Chains A and B, each alone.
Chain A
Amino acid sequence: MNFSELFKLSGLLGRFSPDGKCLASCVQHRLVVRDASTLQILQLYTCLDQIQYIEWSSDSLFILCAMYKRGIVQVWSLEQPDWHCKIDEGSAGLVASCWSPDGRHILNTTEFHLRITVWSLCTKSVSYIKYPKACQQGVAFTKDGRYMAVAERRDCKDFISIFVCRNWQLLRHFDTETQDLFGIEWAPNGCVLAAWDTCLEYKVLLYSLDGRLLSSYRAYEWPLGIKSVAWSPSSQFLAIGSFDEKVRILNHVTWKKITELDHPATVASIKTIVYKEVEKSPTVGTERLSFPPTRSLASCLFSTQSKYEISQVPVSLQYIKPVADRANPKVGVGMLAFSGDNCFLATKNDNIPNAVWIWDVRKLKLTVVLEQLCTIQYFQWDPCQPRLAVCTGSSRVYLWSPAGCVVVQVPGEGDFQIVSVSWHPNGDSMLLLSKDHFCVCYLEREEV
């Protein structure tokens, strides 16, 4: 495992290109494009203001940089560095911006979610989508990029519109039986759209591509409901994480719950492996001590090494009782992710913030629990193999695969608190992001 040096970064804006060749990162108002393997700077672009969001186009030829404060989106081309494009929303303001799947249209969401403007880079045409819903996931594209679903709200009612991305024509428009639509997501096969309600109502609605309601699922009525939703890569399962610390899995044939995955504070099953991160005190030979202490020695002395140990079941995990009178309590399953081969599901229960729960999808049983020393910040599955990268805000990155798990300390001086992880599309390297820096970790093929 090799680590690159630390580079500056702002706003956690580091992205690999979809084709895996380049890496884009932002430092304040500058966009730096590097080669993904050598990290040599290929291009350097300067934007008008501090960049708040960047996104690669699907063909990796363009990058958009959005500056919300100024309401400007700038698009840069990799092939032609002197090509430029600037989209100014003016007084309408800008809240969100994204590419369309064909990589030639930019969808800007204006302030107060007044409308979504579809700017075309090919033609002079502009399209508007009125009354988009201001929710977490209001716009969803199918995996093949053919259709786009937009959540709308008119007259205090929720609607979903399905557009054909090729010519932005409205295909279907139907209302949903939700109180306050919170999010929509397409199944990977592009034929089913899942829409779920706000956390005050536990309701998941499943619509077919042509707008028919296939099924609706409601687990319980009064307590807080859905926190996170994830489709399995084969579209067979829909995992719903809710505030009652459970994940319910629906199957695609009957759209009924097939199992409930519970996250108790005590792991009692004998078949579960619990890996616990323990600190190991650093060993420094006394004869090597020198005054003034060198930097590496200092970092060595003060940084804590850790490793994984297997705890004996039953294990009781650190459980945090949430504050009762706050909105959006830190309770329930907040992070859900299926592995790329549809074999594993990783979840995080916000009550037990130091643990990652890994479930075997074939048996629908808990296989592994990773107990860390600090709160889990983020985890992401390797797109190619069943390998999970976890970061907890320390300068260590944790990798788990069915063969075992490993703790890797990022070498370097100073503290590098990893807050986010992003895998390279071919699974050979990882981007580790902290508030001010980023680092690329190259994995060898045989590792883990």
Chain B
Amino acid sequence: MGDWKTITVPVLSSDSKNTFPYTSERKRSPTSMSSQVLRLSLPSSKSMHSFFSAFCTEENIEQSISYIDRELTTLGFPSIYAESKGKELNLVSMVNCMNELLVLQHKNLRAQEEIEIQHLKLGSDMDHLQNCYAKLKEQLELSKREIVGLQERDRQLQTKNRNLHQLLKNEKDEVQKLQNVISSRATQYNHDMKRKEREYNKLKERLHQLVMNKKDKKLAMEVLNYVGRADGKRGAWRTDKTEARNEEEMYKVLLSDYEQRQKQLLLENTELKKVLQQMKKDIISLLPPQKQKPKERSEDGLVLSDQEEDIGELNKENMWELSCETVREQLTNSIRKQWRMLKNHVEKLDNQVSRGHSGALNEKDVISREDHELQTEKLELEIQQCKEMIRTQQQLLQQQLTCDDDTTLLLQDCYLLEERERLQEEWRLFREQKKNFEKERKSFTEAAIRLGLERKAFEEDRGAWLKHQFLSMTADCKSENATIPATTPSSDPDIHIVRSTSLQRRPPSVSSSTASPEPCQISQYIIQNSVAETPAADNMPNLWVESDDKEETE
């Protein structure tokens, strides 16, 4: 709508506030434009007045006149001044100028009005066009959607068309094939027909010839002499008997053939029955007995009993006798049942395995996880131990079994040698100890002998001393007839001594089976002590033996 530039009138006065208030901006909207236009209408008279008074006042009247004159001259109006340069105004020209200006103003106003009207018109046109555009856009959308839908339908119809074409092609092919078949048949027919036709014609001709030619040679056979029959027999007349015999022979032939076939089939049957029996046994053995639930037990029990009966029956009698329907059916039915059970069992195992893999717990066999784990650990340990044991045992077995004779002999020899050496050692030890004991015993006996001798000597001495004493005592006082038993008081210290000595002797333990009999008491005590000792001594060889045993076992 044009650029309304800012028109600022160069204000001569300092009335800056009276600058041209009608500023306009670029690209204003039509509505604002119109308002602005409206606003740009003739200002009110009041403002005009003020405006007019603002421009020209009493003081600057001459300047304003000269300014006006200048403006007018620039606009092409004649000057308002009179011809002469002076300050006299040419009223006529001023009036003309004013008139011109008024006319111009009118014109401008009219033009403005027209422009406004046009502007309005254009605005309404624009609105109208925009509405149209929006509507058209909507329509376009709609039609686009419609197009898509139509395309989809078109595509579907095309595929359907293609399918139908394909079907049609197939049908056509089939028809073609059938037509080919028909045509080949037709040609065959025709060919046969033609051949027959030709033969027929030949027949007719020959018949014709025959009818014509009555002088025909008789059919005859010339033979030098008749030959004997191949099997040497004579020919026979045809009688009823021969006919009956023919029939009989024919039936014999047929029967023999059937019998042969039946034999073969029987053989096959027995073979198959045997195989079935075997299979049944195998299936029964495969089925685990504890898997049978109680409620099934009755059925199984029945079935088993049936089977056992069957087995019993069929084993007792000959197979080929039992070819009747019921027994055959029994056998096959029992096998079917067993097979079904086996199948169920295998399926159950499969399910269990798959369930085990997936980790789900069966409701029926609920075991708490920890218990389960503990048990499994325990079992694993057991298994480990057993395995190790088995391994070691196997190794040993292997060694024993797999090494060849020489090495076994050598090994055996080694073992024997070992044992022998051990035994020898022990024997040595034993002998040593025996020697030791002998020595000790000897020394002991010597000691005992010495002791005895000493004792004797002592006794003698004592006796002598007692005698002496007695003599002295009797000499001194014959009244004291205290016969002191010789042995007891003095024997005690002796016994004590002996005991002590025997005590001393105890540590080197003695198998004192053969104690010296000379000092009886001593030996008695010794024997007693030794008897007391023998349990210990006896223990020694036992210990020894045990150690031997231990050695052996180790």
Q: Which residues of A are interface residues toward B (Cβ below 8 A)?
A: 58-59, 62, 75, 77, 82-93, 102-104, 111-112, 117, 119-126, 146-147, 164, 167, 169, 171, 189-191, 198-200, 208-210, 222-224, 253, 324-329
Contact = CB atoms under 8 A, between A and B. Distances in A.
User: Interface size class for chain B?
Assistant: 35 or more
B221 interface: yes
B284 to A, nearest CB: 32
Contacts of A120: 235
Contacts of A89: 219
Interface stretch (B225-233, B388-396, B449-457, B483-491): B225-233
Contacts of A75: 223
A88 B199 contact: no
B194 to A, nearest CB: 9
Given A209-B254, A327-B190, 20 more contacts: A85-B221, A86-B222, A87-B221, A88-B220, A88-B222, A90-B219, A91-B216, A102-B230, A102-B231, A117-B219, A119-B221, A121-B223, A122-B227, A125-B235, A164-B250, A167-B235, A190-B257, A224-B184, A325-B187, A327-B191
B251 A210 contact: yes
Contacts of B210: 91
Contacts of A190: 253, 257
Interface of A, helix, strand, loop or mixed by DSSP: loop
Contacts of A253: 265
Given A91-B216, A92-B219, A324-B184, A112 B203 contact: yes
B235 to A, nearest CB: 5
B202 A123 contact: no
A222 B185 contact: yes
A223 B219 CA distance: 45
A131 B217 CA distance: 23
B32 interface: no
Contacts of A125: 235
13 contacts: A85-B222, A86-B221, A86-B222, A91-B210, A123-B235, A124-B226, A169-B238, A190-B253, A210-B250, A327-B187, A327-B190, A328-B191, A329-B184
Nearest to A208: B254
Given A92-B219, A327-B188, A122 B242 contact: no
The 7 A-B pairs at the shortest CB distance, nearest first, are namely: A327-B191, A85-B223, A191-B257, A90-B219, A87-B221, A121-B227, A102-B230
A83 B224 contact: yes
B227 to A, nearest CB: 5
B243 interface: yes
B247 interface: yes
B298 interface: no
Contacts of B218: 90
B257 A189 contact: yes
Contacts of A191: 253-254, 257
Nearest to B191: A327
B236 interface: yes
A122 B229 contact: yes
B246 A171 contact: yes
B151 interface: no
B344 interface: no
A314 B184 CA distance: 32
Interface in B80-138: none
A4 to B, nearest CB: 32
Interface string B250-262: 1101100100000
Interface in B186-224: 187-192, 199, 202-203, 206, 210, 213, 216-224
Contact of A121 (B178, B226, B243, B251): B226
Given A92-B219, A112-B206, A209-B253, A169 B188 contact: no
B6 interface: no
Contacts of B184: 223-224, 324-325, 329
A169 B242 contact: yes
B180 interface: yes
Contacts of B230: 58-59, 102-104
Contacts of B231: 102
B403 interface: no
Nearest to B210: A91
A200 B206 CA distance: 30
B271 to A, nearest CB: 16
B181 interface: yes
A328 B221 CA distance: 39
B13 interface: no
Contacts of B206: 93, 111-112
Interface in B242-289: 242-243, 246-247, 249-251, 253-254, 257, 265
B199 A112 contact: yes
A223 B224 contact: no
A199 B188 contact: yes
Nearest to A73: B221
B188 A200 contact: yes
A164 B246 contact: yes
Contacts of B253: 146, 190-191, 209
B218 to A, nearest CB: 7
Nearest to A212: B254
A325 B190 CA distance: 11
A122 B181 contact: no
A122 B191 CA distance: 43
Nearest to A74: B222
B217 A123 contact: no
B183 interface: yes
B361 to A, nearest CB: 49
A210 B247 CA distance: 9
Contacts of B246: 164, 167, 169, 171
B247 A90 contact: no
A169 B240 CA distance: 11
A93 B253 CA distance: 37
A329 B187 CA distance: 10
- Most chain-A Cβ atoms within 10 A of its Cβ — which of B199, B210, B225, B246? B246
B217 A91 contact: yes
A123 B238 CA distance: 14
A324 B188 contact: no
B224 A88 contact: no
A123 B226 contact: yes
A239 to B, nearest CB: 20
B254 A169 contact: no
A88 B242 contact: no
B183 A167 contact: no
A77 B226 CA distance: 12
A118 B84 CA distance: 174
Interface in B433-457: none
A6 to B, nearest CB: 35
Nearest to B235: A123
A167 B224 contact: no
A344 B185 CA distance: 33
Contacts of B217: 88, 90-91
B189 A222 contact: no
A169 B243 contact: yes
A329 B213 CA distance: 41
A324 B206 CA distance: 36
Which of A58, A75, A223 has its CB near the most chain B CB atoms (within 10 A)?
A223
Nearest to B195: A327
Nearest to A113: B199
A314 B225 CA distance: 65
A10 to B, nearest CB: 26
B205 to A, nearest CB: 11
B204 to A, nearest CB: 10
A88 B226 contact: no
Nearest to A331: B184
A122 B188 contact: no
A167 B199 CA distance: 33
B227 A91 contact: no
A326 B226 CA distance: 50
Contacts of A167: 235-236, 238, 242, 246
B250 A84 contact: no
A328 B192 CA distance: 10
Given A103-B230, A122-B235, A91 B185 contact: no
